Amino acid sequence: MKKTVLAFSRISPAMVERLEAHFDVIVPNPKAGDIAAQFNEALPKAHGLIGAGRPLGRKQLADAALLEVVSSVSVGYDNYDVGYFNERGIMLTNTPDVLTQSTADLAFALIMSSARRVAELDAWTKAGNWKASVGADLFGTDVYGKTLGIVGLGNIGAAVARRGHLGFDMPILYSGNSRKPDLEQELNAQFRSLEQLLAEADFVCLVVPLSDKTRHMIGAAELAQMKKSAILVNISRGPVVDEAALVQALREGTLRGAGLDVYEKEPLAESPLFELGNVVTLPHIGSATAQTRDSMAYRAIDNLTAALLGKRPQDLVNPQTFKG
């Protein structure tokens, strides 16, 4: 008898077909009624879950008696109660590395668009305001040669650093839990404490996972340490930044600007951030290219397939749960 896989976010017909080579597959259908209700009804049958964006823990998985693995189509796994997974012996997999380059591209898009006021001036132009040469009040700031500070020099942070150093001749500063000698040599990256980095960098890019340690690691005190001319870019997780403190700094002009792809609450239908011209806001699209999302989904399928066939998945977050 085949094991059953339940999807908890959209997957393409091609991906369903790939899974059906080994498993029975259930994909909730929005045309058939409430998605959450369909998911909950199918959950007791599921040996494996695949998807992204849904919090899963003790409460949500109480009826998932057969569950062996959750395959997340994401790098971050803060939506999942890993302690509970370990308690139950449920494997958790993610999709690291696959989205590194796409997410780094987006980080640099936020750097460029914030510095050169792209979104603000696009709206200004389309509103019919371009009736004479642009004056100094609409000038942006240079990126080339400016100092780029990266908080969290992992795979994505390193990819952002390479774009800055090799493409824009930017001196690279970084902070984190450990030194990166190889990247220090490759990019002439300089290690700094967080406080030093905030004080020295013209652009500060946040690329850290969400944890108790990183939640609100950038608050009012940290924003006050940054240059008044600096720009903050967040592509990690929204709660890494105290959003209220950021809004205040942007309103008062103690920070030049910000580029955000993530927020404390998502999705974000309304926010005081939307009233500010000196912030670029995107709807959490760090990896949202067709090619990257397909690659992530197929990697997640490979992880799930391995787990349910008794093999160790490539991207196992909690290795103590593997009983092979």
Q: Let me know whether 121 and 246 are in one domain.
A: yes
Distance CA(12)–CA(25), nearest Å, equals 12
Query: What pLDDT sits at residue 32?
Result: 85
Residues 120 and 220 reside in one and the same domain: yes
- Do 74 and 50 touch, CB atoms closer than 8 A? no
In the prediction, which pLDDT does 58 show?
96
**Contact partners, residue 100, CB within 8 Å, separation at least 6:** 155, 156, 159
pTM: 0.89
| Under-50 pLDDT residues of the chain | none
Dihedral over Cα of 53, 57, 60, 62: its sign: positive
Q: Check whether residue 160 and residue 239 sit in a common domain.
A: yes
pLDDT in tens, 104-145: 999 999 999 999 999 999 999 999 999 999 999 999 999 999
pLDDT value for 53: 87
- Do both 276 and 134 map to the same domain? yes
Within this chain, do residues 84 and 108 fall inside the same structural domain, yes or no? no
Q: Are residues 232 and 256 in the same domain?
A: yes
Give the integer Cα–Cα distance in Å for 110 and 261: 8
CA atoms within 13 A on the CB side of 135: 4
Residue numbers annotated as active site? 237, 266, 284
Which residues, in sequence order, are bridge partners of residue 218?
Answer: 241
User: Residue 25 in contact with residue 16, Cβ under 8 Å?
Assistant: yes
Contact (CB, 8 A) for 23 and 2: yes
Domain of 28, CATH number, reads: 3.40.50.720
Whether 86 and 201 share a structural domain = no
Q: Range of 301's domain?
A: 4-97+290-321
